Structure 1
Amino acid sequence: MKKRILLALFVAGFCLNVSAQKVQFTEYNLANGLHVVLHQDKTAPVVAVSVMYHVGSKDEDENRTGFAHFFEHLLFEGTKNIKRGEFMKLVSANGGQNNANTTQDRTFYYELFPSNQLALGLWLESERMMHPVINEIGVKTQNEVVKEEKRLRIDNAPYGKFAEKIFADLFKNYPYSWQTIGSMANLDSAKLGEFKAFFKKYYIPNNAVLTIAGDIDLAKTKKLVADYFDSVPKGADIGRKEYDLKPITKEIIDTAYDANIQIPAIFAAYRVPGMRSRDTKVLGMISDLLSGGGSSRLKTKMVDEKKTTLQVAAFNYTLENYGAYITLALPNNNTPLNDLLKDIDVEVKRLQTDLISEEDYRKLENQFENSYVSKNSTMLGVAENLADGYTFHEKNTNDVNQELEVVKSVTREEIRDVAKKYLNPNQRVVLYYLPKK
């Protein structure tokens, strides 16, 4: 009965007012450099506690890939005051949920609790930050967990290696060239001291954002934050390596084979700016225009009218320093892959040449407003978006409130010009993804 009540509480509590209203927040720094963001919403007695560390796979050594994702798992092993295997049990026993995820640019840990368990959430994250247990037992255990995850999500998943292949070509000699899960051989050969050194360098308060969103009292929450995090020592400043990434000036053709598929696919990927660029928002609008919904241009033309395609998509894979704009199609009725690519190119060329209609423009604005509201419709969503703003937008936490204004200021001419600037055949990787017999 208790679990049912808490589940209903969470479902009710995570949903915010579904309108594009501004997210109110308070932010400040502790003496050790930890940035704290507080968002008060008393619509339901729940709270999200999250910590975003500015470390992902791009911060790894090319001979030690997979460390950031590995720590996503390893930091659940236990701490000086939490026995091994007890972290998640403490969360569930107190009516909460928790998880973590890693990208090329950051690692994000969170707990969702009834608001009367805020102190527990803060204690758990301070324990994770201050003195986790990193030993041979934990490393070996999580090494097997990561290997199983790779087998399930990549090695044995249909089309599971397309990103690996595309990013290797698109970001050659750059840390985005390897995937977040990394190399199992690198993890196998790493020594315990290397894991400890990686933690000491990156999982420090001055490389993190603590975000708390939900039914909180601001004054009491600030005191709790001080109680649990003031004593965490500040780490050394992180010097991030600079890379010279040369532009792509000639189309790159590649082929990959996958024993898990029967239907081939064709991908085209373009290197585009990172998430701080205004052009990134425009590319997102272009994605919606091309494949966002059943009435989008590519789906209408290739799936509904010509019936040459089982599935077609265009999306902007946005990262901190760069992005990958990717189009893909799966053929119907044995349609040649090159024919699918030609149809996609025709629609891209149309974008580069003609202004979209006023009707399409209004539709894009509505789609983005709906997406914006959806992103901020849960306590956890708000917590993550606030942390993203501070981490990736030059410490501008208020980016969460400015994003929609930026999109609404984009013009039809700008959509045409951005498509013309980035989505050209001589700037892309084309990948033929074929069944392996």
Structure 2
Amino acid sequence: MKFRLLFILMALFIVSATIAQAVSYEEYDLENGLHIILHQDNNAPVVTTSVMYHVGAKNEQPDKTGFAHFFEHLLFEGTKNIERGAWFKIVSSNGGQNNANTTQDRTYYYEVFPSNNLELGLWLESERMMHPIINKIGVDTQSEVVQEERRMRYDNAPYGRWREQMFVHLFKKHPYRWQTIGSLEHLANASLEDFKEFNKKYYVPNNAVLVVAGDIEINRTKKLINDYFGPIPKGNTIDRQTFIEDPITTTIKTVYHDPNIQIPAIFMGYRTPAQTDRNAYILDMISTYLSDGKSSKLYKKLVDEKKMALQVFAFNGSQEDYGAYVVGALPVGETTLADLKNEIDGEIQKLQSELISENDYQKLQNKFENLFVNANGSVSGIANSLARYYILYDDTNLINTEIDIYRSITREEIMQVANEYLKPNQRVELEYLPEAVIENK
């Protein structure tokens, strides 16, 4: 018992020390506008090179959606100096790994190599930025890849289209109303010139941040960066549009029939503020309080105690311009979607009228400190955080201070924000039903 207690105390000490230890970094700009962030950590012989471009699905035109996600794939096709199909072979044969991902706000590419291959990682990303080859064979190849991804993740996956159906009603003006996968029809109808223009506009140094993190020597790294990225021409200034949504004042009710499911679901979505807004952080805590894990309020009530739900969920998807808070459940037995909606509303009403307990509040604080530690617990995680905070928050140092925002949130604020944003007349109610329901009518 004494040994176990000692182990727990040591673990808590390590976590506290990790949280208190600031992430050091250096940042500067090249003449072409490329922002550079360097983080030196010589504890392990690995290095991450990553580039985040400030372009996502929201930068597309309504009749040309899916471009940003498409480029996530297309820019692995090859360059003037990298043969088509050779990218992944180069990375793996040199002991590395790489990937990319796209959201509605940004696109992120990265490589993780043994630190003696730092120069290789920089060369690869400079090639992607300076010498991409965009031709018909690459477009046709990746069109097939994206079509298969659409089928697997959306069209043929159980509950695969709930987000698509929710966001088209939550947003009427903002490009957030379409998903990053976009329209396959739009991609099929796009010309080669359309793709080249999109690349020329957004995948330029002055619309990107390069992060190098890990086992590096600063002066040598700076020289390599200047050698590989300095010659890349600066792009034109990007004119970014602003979209202001009208408030939702009356409940929007909608129904979708999914042929891939047998159990219906209820989704209730609320439009929320941008991720930089303090209230977005508070909504993160509300989401965790309601349904993060088996000790959460909704799980204990609907799954454990009342046996009304097979599953419950809630999350706050904050983004650069707006967010979306979504809560919902899948029923069990004779439970109706209306029953679930009433029970969920009851728990939200408690949040709006009563302060959460001190014990629950402390649990939330502990969870968010753990999330903070885990997000920055590796060199690649630190690289991602540095890029994201710079591009989307315009505050790189949030990698050290964001946890203080969560720590400063009070129980009173949680109650206040629940009252401000989680009103029934401000939401979309999506009944997500099996296709068989149509046949029975």
Normalising by structure 1, what TM-score? Answer: 0.95
**Which residue does 2:210 correspond to in 1?**
210
Residue 183 (structure 2) aligns with: 183
Q: Secondary structure at the match of 2:18?
A: coil
Distance between the aligned counterparts of 2:145 and 2:62, measured in 1? 22
Partner of 2:433 in structure 1?
A: 434
What CA distance in whole angstroms lies between the structure 2 residues aligned with 1:378 and 1:307?
40
In structure 1, what is the Cα distance between the partners aligned to 2:137 and 2:386? 36
- More divergent stretch after superposition (332-341 vs 17-26): 17-26
Question: In the alignment, what sits opposite 1:44?
Answer: 44
Q: Which amino acid aligns with 2:418?
A: A
Cα distance between partner residues in 2 of 1:45 and 1:328: 45
Aligned residues: 421
2:261 corresponding residue in structure 1: 261
State the alpha-carbon separation in 1 of the partners of residues 376 and 17 from structure 2: 8
SS at match of 1:431: strand
Residue 82 to residue 18, structure 1, CA distance change in 2 (3 Å): farther
> Superposition pairs for residues 162-311 of structure 1, below 5 Å?
162-311=162-311
Please tell me whether residue 368 in structure 1 is matched to residue 368 in structure 2.
yes
- Structure 2 counterpart of 1:4: none
2:126: which partner in 1?
Answer: 126
d(CA) in 1 for partners of 2:276, 2:295: 30
Q: Is the 8 A contact 1:18 1:373 kept in 2?
A: no
> In structure 2, what is the Cα distance between the partners aligned to 1:53 and 1:18?
33
User: What is the distance in 2 between the residues matched to 1:191 and 1:433?
Assistant: 36
Where in structure 2 are the equivalents of 1:314-393 lying within 5 Å? 314-393=314-393
Identity %: 59
Q: How far is the alpha carbon of 1:242 from its aligned partner?
A: 1.9
Change (3 A) 1:369 1:432: same
Q: Secondary structure at the match of 1:100?
A: strand
Letter in 2 for 1:251: T
Pair 85,17 (structure 1): closer, same or farther in 2 beyond 3 Å? farther
What is the CA–CA distance in structure 1 between the aligned matches of 2:22 and 2:305, rounded to whole Å? 41
- Distance across 1 between alignment mates of 2:174 and 2:278: 23
Aligned residue number for residue 96 of structure 2: 96
Runs of 5+ unmatched residues, structure 2: 1-14, 437-441
Residue 173 of structure 1: CA displacement? 2.4
Give the C-alpha shift of residue 213 in structure 1: 1.1
CA distance in 2, matches of 1:275, 1:143: 32
Cα shift readout 1:300-349 (whole Å, capped 9, x = no counterpart) = 10000000001001100111100000001001113101100111101111
Q: 1:18 touches 1:377 (CA, 8 Å); kept in 2?
A: no
Alpha-carbon offset, residue 38 of structure 1: 0.7
Who is 1:408 aligned against?
Answer: 407
Unaligned 5+ runs, structure 1: 1-15
Aligned to 2:73: 73
237-246 vs 65-74, which moves further: 237-246
- Aligned residue number for residue 418 of structure 1: 417
Task: Name the aligned partner's letter for residue 412 of structure 1.
Answer: R
SS in 1 for 2:120: helix
1:69 shift after superposition: 0.3
Letter in 1 for 2:378: T
**More divergent stretch after superposition (295-304 vs 240-249):** 240-249
User: What is the alpha-carbon distance in structure 2 between the residues aligned to residue 173 and residue 320 of structure 1?
Assistant: 15
Equivalent residue letter for 2:116? N
Output the CA distance in 2 between the equivalents of 1:379 and 1:334. Answer: 49
Q: Is the 8 A contact 1:17 1:377 kept in 2?
A: no
Deviation of 1:174 after TM superposition, in Å, equals 1.6
1:342-365 per-position Cα deviation (integer Å, ceiling 9, x unaligned): 111011110011111111111110
CA deviations 1:104-123 (Å, max 9, x no partner) are 00000000100000000000
The separation in 2 between residues aligned to 1:400 and 1:264, in whole angstroms, is 40
Q: Give the 4+ runs in structure 1 shifted more than 3 A.
A: none
Shift of 1:18: 7.8
How big is each residue's C-alpha offset from its partner over 1:263-291, in whole Å with a ceiling of 9 and x where there is no partner?
A: 11000000000111111110011111101
Kindly indicate whether residue 391 of structure 2 is the aligned counterpart of residue 396 of structure 1.
no
> Displacement of 1:17 after TM fit?
10
Distance 1:362 1:53, change over 3 A: same
The answer to whether the 8 Å contact 1:129/1:203 transfers is yes
Deviation at 1:190, TM superposition (A): 0.3
Aligned CA distance change for structure 1 residues 189 and 17 (closer, same or farther; 3 Å) = farther
TM-score normalized by the length of structure 2? 0.94
Q: Distance between the aligned counterparts of 1:125 and 1:35, measured in 2?
A: 14
Question: What SS does structure 2 have at the residue aligned with 1:19?
Answer: helix
Deviation at 1:244, TM superposition (A): 2.8
